[in-house]
Amino acid sequence: MPEIPFAVVLASYCVEYHDRNECSDCTPEGCPRLEDAGLTLDKFRAERLERYRLRKGSL
């Protein structure tokens, strides 16, 4: 079972929320919360990819 950090769960929830809604921090130029969530998800994906690459390389 893949381990998903709580921050990542929250981040994906935040991105999903912004598909249809605006939060209290949203502005016409964008949203700091959505930006943060995007960064968190990007970081998680990059780390997961790196782990996968390392594991594959050791086989």
Footprint on this chain of Zn ion (rule: CB under 5 A): 23, 25-26, 31, 33
Smallest distance from the beta carbon of 10 to Zn ion, in angstroms?
13
Length of the chain: 59
CB closer to Zn ion, 3 vs 19: 19
| DSSP annotation string for 9-59 | HHHHHHHHHHHH---TT-BTTB-HHHHHHHHHHHHHHHHHHHHHHHHHHH-
Closest residue to Zn ion using C-beta atoms: 31
CB closer to Zn ion, 23 vs 39: 23
CB closer to Zn ion, 7 vs 26: 26
